[in-house]
Amino acid sequence: MIMPEALNPWSSSQAIDTRRLFENFGIEPIDPLLDLLPEVPGFMRRGIIVGHRDYRPIALAIRDHRPFHVLTGFMPSGHPHLGHLLVMREVVWHVSQGGRGMITIADREAHAVRGLSWEDCDRFGREYLTVLFALGYRGEAYFQSKNNALKDLAFEAATRVNFSELQAIYGFESETTLAHAMSVITQVADILYPQVAGGPAPTIVPVGIDQDPHIRLTRDVANGLRYFLVEDRGDHISVRAKNAPEGGIRAVTQALPGSQAYEGHVDVRGMTYGAVSEIVREVERDLGGFGFFTPSATYHTFMPGLIGGKMSSSIPDSSFGFSEPVASVRKKVMRAVTGGRTTLEEQQRLGGDPDRCTVYELNRFHMCDSDSGLAEIRQKCLAGEITCGACKKETAERVLAFLAEFKERMDEVEHLADEV
């Protein structure tokens, strides 16, 4: 199988054809679920999150105040920058909606795939955590290389994955190092880890669309590690033993009053699918299994780099860091690629094109919280009522005000990163 570039986690391309994702990869649009949420955050209202897998259980958990986990991860291969802000905000928002937060610093991946030293991983990892805490994150966090329970879980997960799957999903070849494969299975473990540390519950993993291969693999592993398969057969619920230990079927039968046991499966009538699932999950846990919920994900698009193309720490002008000098940040915003016309006369007559403008994107993603404020920028641009120079200047002021306040908050919370 050939990997589409946009779905290769280690590729440098970020071009995405969203319709193809929906049609070919089973990712679904998020809009139909937004009505379930008590409060719809900007990144969902503004189309920044393009799709999801299984977000429904998360939306329901938020609505009904039931437990759920939220986890994401950062590879500490450079300084955190503007491009990381979105996923961090997604995590902070889900925690504010009742989620239990977990952050993984993927130092195994940075070391294995990008060749960073452990010292650098440690230094950059702390920077990521400081930014997160400054954004208001409150929850748990760990470095992959220091979490033994995670490594045990990765080993267990590895019993469900073979080399031909890694080859099909990631295009791994015979030259691929074992450490690269280990960093993949460590990420699978990351995504399942909240349910080991905090008990089984729906888990949302906000990620960029490039991480979907990991999500699909993890969903398969989560199912593969289950002892029982619960299926709705219309007039009854069927529970089948997959990898259950001796006595598994007997234990399920005893836990489900009125059920009928057969060779390798149990049929239940008069109970809902949800109720049977919960009881079976408890039996599985009693027998020593994980009882995982299949993890869910949301997928966001990427903010373009300020000079067009990809935003990346290896292209300094594409983005700015959180501790960068004022003059440097201002210069980057003032030089950003816009959707403006070549002459003032044309700009006034034809208007600009906000949909091809990195300055507009900066506002849409982060620098303009109010929807009416954003609509005003858009309208003025389209009507040719503002020049790009003036528009950039206003945006730069907002960026600098944000950074000034943010730096203070980073100083206040730096000690939290040291405690991880």
- The site map against ligand TRP for 103-142 (x = CB under 6 A) is -x-x--x---------------------------------
> Considering CB distances under 5 to 8 angstroms, the limit depending on partner class, which of ligand SF4, ligand TRP, none binds residue 92?
none
**Among residues 75, 192, 280, 357, the one that binds ligand TRP under rule CB under 6 A:** 75
Q: 106 or 169: whose CB is closer to ligand TRP?
A: 106
Between strands 265-268 and 260-262, the pairing is antiparallel
Q: 383 or 401: whose CB is closer to ligand SF4?
A: 383
> Considering CB distances under 5 to 8 angstroms, the limit depending on partner class, which of ligand TRP, ligand SF4, none binds residue 187?
ligand TRP
351: phi > 0 → left, psi -120 to 50 → alpha, else beta; which?
Answer: left
Q: How many CB atoms lie within 10 A of CB 331?
A: 14
Please tell me the distance from the alpha carbon of residue 41 to that of residue 48, in angstroms, as a whole number.
10
Please tell me the distance from the alpha carbon of residue 215 to that of residue 221, in angstroms, as a whole number.
10
Q: Which residues of 11-25 are buried (b: 16+ CB within 10 A; e: fewer)?
A: eeebebebeebeeeb
How far does the chain reach from its first CA to its final CA, in angstroms? 40
Work out how close the CB of 406 gets to ligand TRP at its nearest, in angstroms, rounded to a whole number: 22
> Considering CB distances under 5 to 8 angstroms, the limit depending on partner class, which of ligand TRP, ligand SF4, none binds residue 73?
ligand TRP
> Considering CB distances under 5 to 8 angstroms, the limit depending on partner class, which of ligand TRP, ligand SF4, none binds residue 106?
ligand TRP
Residues 6+ apart with CB under 8 A from 151: 186, 189
Judged by CB under 6 A, the chain residues 335 through 364 that form the site for ligand SF4 are 338-340, 352-354, 357, 359-360
Binding region for ligand TRP (CB under 6 A) out of 23-31, 204-212, 270-278, 307-315:
204-212
Q: Which residues of 336-349 are buried (b: 16+ CB within 10 A; e: fewer)?
A: bbbbbbeeeeebee
Work out how close the CB of 79 gets to ligand SF4 at its nearest, in angstroms, rounded to a whole number: 26
Please tell me the distance from the alpha carbon of residue 271 to that of residue 412, in angstroms, as a whole number.
52
> Considering CB distances under 5 to 8 angstroms, the limit depending on partner class, which of ligand TRP, ligand SF4, none binds residue 134?
none
Work out how close the CB of 183 gets to ligand TRP at its nearest, in angstroms, rounded to a whole number: 8
- Least Cα distance to 30 among 211, 221, 194, 209 occurs for 209
Q: Is 187 in the site for ligand TRP (CB under 6 A)?
A: yes
Phi and psi (nearest 5°) for 295?
-65, 150
Q: How many CB atoms lie within 10 A of CB 146?
A: 12
Please tell me the distance from the alpha carbon of residue 61 to that of residue 69, in angstroms, as a whole number.
10
Please tell me the distance from the alpha carbon of residue 49 to that of residue 413, in angstroms, as a whole number.
28
> Considering CB distances under 5 to 8 angstroms, the limit depending on partner class, which of ligand TRP, ligand SF4, none binds residue 109?
ligand TRP
> Considering CB distances under 5 to 8 angstroms, the limit depending on partner class, which of ligand TRP, ligand SF4, none binds residue 381?
ligand SF4
Query: How much helix, strand and coil, in percent to the nearest 5, is found in the chain?
Result: 55, 10, 35
- The site map against ligand SF4 for 380-419 (x = CB under 6 A) is -x----x-x--xx---------------------------
Q: Is 72 in the site for ligand TRP (CB under 6 A)?
A: yes
> Considering CB distances under 5 to 8 angstroms, the limit depending on partner class, which of ligand TRP, ligand SF4, none binds residue 357?
ligand SF4
User: Residues in the site for ligand SF4, rule: CB under 6 A?
Assistant: 338-340, 352-354, 357, 359-360, 377, 381, 386, 388, 391-392
User: Residues in the site for ligand TRP, rule: CB under 6 A?
Assistant: 9, 71-75, 104, 106, 109, 187, 190-191, 205, 207, 211
